[in-house]
Amino acid sequence: LQELQSSGRGRFLLEHAAPFSAFLTDSFGRQHNYLRISLTEKCNLRCQYCMPEEGVQLTPKSELLTAQEIITLARLFVKEGVEKIRLTGGEPLIRPDVVDIVGQLYKLEGLKTIAVTTNGINLARLLPRLKEAGLNAINISLDTLVPAKFEFIVRRKGFHKVMEGIHKATELGYRPVKVNCVVMRGFNEDELLGFVDFTKDLPLDVRFIEYMPFDGNKWNFKKMVSYKEMLDTIKQRWPELEKLPCETSSTAKSYKVPHFQGQISFITSMSEHFCGSCNRLRITADGNLKVCLFGNSEVSLRDHLRSGASEEELVQVIGAAVGRKKKQHAGMFNISQMKNRPMILIGGLSLAFQLLRCILMSGFFFPPEPELMSLPLCQDALQNPPNSKQWGHWLTLRASCCVFQKHPSSKFDTKCLEASPFDQVSVDCQPKAASPESKFCNRDSGSRTEVPRASDKLTHTDEEGRATMVDVGGKPDSRRSAVAAAVVRLGEKAFGMVRQNQVKKGDVLAVAQIAGIQGAKLTSQLIPLCHNIPLNHVEVSLSLDEARYAVVIHSSCQTWGRTGVEMEALTAASLAALTVYDMCKAVTHDIVIEEVKLLSKTGGQRGDFSR
């Protein structure tokens, strides 16, 4: 209000404010003065976080609203009392005429706020022109602060472009710059404190959004992290967290760490819905009016507009739709069973919505820490997501990870992902030198195969020949290690694409490394008679062998326990190899996985082994 009073345009709007329209007031007395307009269904990211598994059928361009139709409808809503318009998508900033649309909206008398919600990829480039055109509020969707995780989720580079957009917005004077983060259990709730710390030196409002159900995202309560749970986690680190006052119609509960420039907010759409003060309406890119985000009831304003409906007739149509708006969540008691558009066709963004689907589409799903969870390798795993501790061991790659690090002895450029201390991974284009810890063996080193003392019978069968698990309860604890290897022959074309990181599914070497590490952890779930072993260390290394057009995989596992880890090492090498195959099979099916073998093992009653 103070900002409006201090500007000439603001004083004019306040002095000439008209009585609020009855057509935008529903049967519960809620006045709808906030309109969200989707400019496009398309997006320049490919994570499919808000799409059904089978994808979405994009509306033909001829059926989407034109710029003039958008302005016509916006003018009508503003005339009836709308004071704020937010432009959404898909990704609104990929629409070529977005700057012109903002400029025309700014000319509408009575419109106080023009906002945009964006994934931030194009923001830094367009923001100076958008600001000049009249854009005065920005929401940027960002669900992770880890560059490697961002790229892994969306299968596109761009994290640094998003960060550049955030900093550009603060430089141009936007206060605050809102950052939307959808929190999902097991995916990014371990980054809550990092996002809060993000507000320390920047004028940001990081908004933690409770995960909501939409068609195709297989929502369930296990994935949702409630506002109170998030708040408790943050207060453990910052007990001095202060609650801030908020407006009646605000969807956010806002807090601030004293002396931080920015603040945080919680959008409690599920645990504490704000339907009673809802003032929002939505127009989809194909011109349908949605009075509730959770409802599937829509009215085509485009069809009425193109059939020559008068302004008065359009107002009557809008008023009837608003009048039918339910008290809360479209009148449904069980919103998880609702039928609705996929999120991308409504106009909302968030990278975390379908992180798990992205991983499944990459060809593997290996939840770590098998002693904590048993999940099948199938889509049903979406219904039972692993928790943060599980995913956090591997997916929370450090923000300091190196990109395009070149090995001193290699002529190839490749990516290097630095994982957590529990799961060391590396990528080289030449075989790594042997280290005391990994005990990688060079197969050309001339070392002979030493055969340890063997058992005179199969240990995994009983006297009647039935399968049985070996009882290791009486064995002493000792240090155990194992090293295994595998080779994937790709052929010249696929090898070249892997080497240049041009495979459409993503970074083959990085994904295969992660798969191998998770495979080691999941061994007891895949191999029926294997014991569940707490691994102290897992290392997976992939190198490129140009002479054979092959990826050479080495895996090393260590533990302190009563049984060995050769099966974990073999599983790691095998699953890394299978992942390479899966990611390259679109290029060629003439791929051979070979030389899956144990290279060495130490510890145990039967002694050491080296090939």
Query: CB atoms < 10 A from the CB of 422, how many?
Result: 15
Q: Is 573 left (phi over 0), alpha (psi -120 to 50) or beta?
A: alpha
Residue owning tokens 């950052």: 179
Mean pLDDT for the stretch of residues 203-216: 78
390: in domain: no
Give the integer Cα–Cα distance in Å for 325 and 26.
Answer: 7
E-strand ranges in 218-306 read 242-243, 252-256, 263-267, 280-283, 288-290, 299-300
Is 462 one of the catalytic residues? Answer: no
Query: Which positions ≥6 away from 385 have C-beta within 8 Å?
Result: 184, 185, 186, 187, 222, 223, 356
* Domain count across the chain: 2
Residue owning tokens 């991308």: 344
Asked whether the beta carbons of 244 and 263 are under 8 A apart, the reply is yes
Give me the sheet containing 242-243, strands edge to edge: 242-243, 252-256, 263-267, 204-210, 177-183, 137-141, 113-118, 84-88, 34-38, 280-283, 288-290, 299-300
When mean pLDDT is compared across 237-246, 357-366, 488-497, the lowest value belongs to 357-366
Residue 574 belongs to domain with CATH number: 3.30.70.640
303: in domain: yes
Asked whether the beta carbons of 277 and 30 are under 8 A apart, the reply is yes
184: in domain: yes
Give pLDDT tens digits for 309-339: 999 999 999 999 999 988 875 444 444 444 5
Asked whether the beta carbons of 536 and 558 are under 8 A apart, the reply is yes
96: in domain: yes
Catalytic residue of the set 205, 286, 428, 582: 582
Is residue 221 domain-shared with residue 74, that is, in the same domain?
A: yes
Give pLDDT tens digits for 587-609: 999 999 999 999 999 988 778 89
**pLDDT, averaged across the chain:** 77
Structure tokens at 41: 């269904």
Is residue 227 domain-shared with residue 85, that is, in the same domain?
A: yes
Mean pLDDT for the stretch of residues 153-163: 87
Omega within 30 of 0 (cis) for the link into 81:
no
Give pLDDT tens digits for 19-68: 578 889 988 889 999 999 999 998 888 764 555 445 567 899 999 999 99
Last-in-domain residue among 346, 365, 381 = 346
Query: Which positions ≥6 away from 532 have C-beta within 8 Å?
Result: 370, 371, 524
Choose among 409, 405, 408, 436: nearest CA to 418.
Answer: 405
54: in domain: yes
Flag whether pLDDT at 381 surpasses 50. no
Last-in-domain residue among 331, 346, 361 = 346
Give pLDDT tens digits for 556-584: 999 988 888 999 999 999 999 999 999 99
Query: What does residue 602 show for φ and ψ, rounded to 5 degrees?
Result: -130, 155
Flag whether pLDDT at 7 surpasses 80. no
491: in domain: yes
Flag whether pLDDT at 486 surpasses 50. yes
Beta-bridge mates of residue 114: 85
Query: Which positions ≥6 away from 314 have C-beta within 8 Å?
Result: 73, 76, 301, 304, 305
Give the integer Cα–Cα distance in Å for 168 and 162.
Answer: 10
Structure tokens at 302: 């485009």
Determine the pLDDT at residue 452: 45
Last-in-domain residue among 346, 380, 402 = 346
Residue 284 belongs to domain with CATH number: 3.20.20.70
Choose among 434, 215, 441, 449: nearest CA to 344.
Answer: 215
Give the integer Cα–Cα distance in Å for 300 and 283.
Answer: 9
The H-or-E segment that residue 551 falls in is strand 550-561
Flag whether pLDDT at 206 surpasses 70. yes
Asked whether the beta carbons of 509 and 498 are under 8 A apart, the reply is yes
Determine the pLDDT at residue 191: 93
524: in domain: yes
Report how far apart the first and last C-alpha atoms of the chain are (Å, whole number): 77
389: in domain: no
Determine the pLDDT at residue 411: 38
32: domain range? Answer: 1-346
Give pLDDT tens digits for 277-291: 889 999 999 999 999
Give the integer Cα–Cα distance in Å for 229 and 397.
Answer: 24
